[in-house]
Amino acid sequence: MDLQTIVFYFFVLLTIVAAGVVVFSRNIVHAAFALLFAFFGVAGIYVFLMADFLAVTQLMIYVGGILVLLLFGVMLTSKQVNVDIRTSNFQLIPAAMIAGALFGFLAGVLVFTPWREGTNPSTPEATGPLLGELLLTKYVLPFEVASMVLLVALVGAALIARREKDRKNA
Amino acid sequence: MESVLSMFTSFVEWLRQPGLTHFLVLSALLFSMGVFAILTRRNAIMVLMGIELVLNAANINFVAFARYTTHSLDGHIVAVFVIILAAAEAAIALAIVLNIYQTFNTVNVDELNTLKD
């Protein structure tokens, strides 16, 4: 057990425990904040996979953007000051059976498939410049399409989120 | 008894050296938990959180395979696009949820069974 392994399992435990709180917590605000720790743990996993750029992107977009957006959603759609901020689960037993079977199947397939694993994993290097180069050469079309998708999605979201009477007045 | 013990020791031995399969099992676990959240949660925003967990699980798989099998950065690129689409999806879905709340005064997915009032 070297230090690296211990830190790896720390991030794994952080991710799984936080995801468990997200899944099982009765309080929706607790679930949202647990999601923060789950995203943080996944960022740590990215660091272990030598994906430094992705780890930072994960922190900035998921923790800084998506999570804040979700929290806004929680605050805007729960009835007045945390009276009805609790949430409940339903269909617990069939869902647990489906999710458990899914996990067993996936884990079995993923563990017992003989992946062509490289004998010496690539040496650590900064992935940022390489990713930038790929995005502007090999993947320039998906990159442009993604920017259009983001633009359209955000304009559409702003339009949808307006109230009905505003639209009639306009 | 003997075989259970040997299975346990080989499992502990497997745990000691993190490799590709560890990341894959972690992502399978995250994926299943996300699916569980999607199936059981009443609140639409909690369903969205389950979707985010599923997307994160897929991302871990992409990056793990990019690290251990291909030695290229294609998996990282796919993960970047997944993050971009997750951001767009969260924005759109929250706009829809806000509209649903204003129309029906609830965001419980099992009570929403009509398209309009």
Contact A23, B31 (CB under 8 A): no
How much is the mean pLDDT over chain B?
A: 86
Partners of residue B85 in chain A, C-beta under 8 Å: 146, 149
Residue A62 lies in a domain: yes
Residue of B13, B35, B39 to mutate for A, most A C-beta atoms under 10 A: B39
Residue A73 lies in a domain: yes
Q: Which of A95, A103, A83, A106 is nearest to A24 (CA)?
A: A95
Partners of residue A156 in chain B, C-beta under 8 Å: 92, 95
Number of domains in chain A: 1
What letter represents residue A121's amino acid? Answer: P
The alpha carbon dihedral of B48, B50, B52, B54 has a sign of negative
Partners of residue A59 in chain B, C-beta under 8 Å: none
Mean pLDDT lowest among A18-27, A45-54, B9-18, B31-40: B9-18
Task: Tell me the count of A-B CB pairs closer than 8 A.
Answer: 230
- Output the DSSP codes for A43-97: HHHHHHTT-HHHHHHIIIIIIIIIHHHHHHHHHHHS-STTTS-B--B-SHHHHHH
Cβ-defined contact of A45 to B60 (cutoff 8 Å)? yes
Residue A58 lies in a domain: yes
Taking each helix axis from N to C end, the angle separating A28-48 and B20-40, rounded to the nearest 10 degrees, works out to 160
- The domain spans of chain B are 2-104
* CATH number, residue A41: 1.20.120.1200
- Provide mean pLDDT across the span A51-72: 89
Residue A89 lies in a domain: no
What letter represents residue A82's amino acid? Answer: N
Residue A6 lies in a domain: yes
In which element (H, E) is residue B86 found?
helix B74-104
Residue A34 lies in a domain: yes
Cβ-defined contact of B102 to A42 (cutoff 8 Å)? no
The pLDDT score that the predictor gives to residue A18 is 94
Cβ-defined contact of A102 to B35 (cutoff 8 Å)? yes
Residue A88 lies in a domain: no
Q: Who contacts A16 (Cβ-Cβ below 8 Å, separation ≥6)?
A: A41, B26, B29, B30, B33
Domain of A15 in residue numbering reads as: 1-80
The pLDDT score that the predictor gives to residue A40 is 93
Q: Which residue of B has its CA nearest to A121?
A: B68
User: Phi, psi at residue A64, to the nearest 5°?
Assistant: -80, -30
Residue A155 lies in a domain: no
Q: What is the dotted CATH code of the domain comprising B2-104?
A: 1.10.287.3510
Cβ-defined contact of B94 to A74 (cutoff 8 Å)? no
* Smallest Cα distance from A35 to chain B, Å: 8
pTM of the model: 0.86
Q: pLDDT tens digit string along A75-122?
A: 888 764 444 455 566 678 888 889 899 999 998 888 888 877 765 555
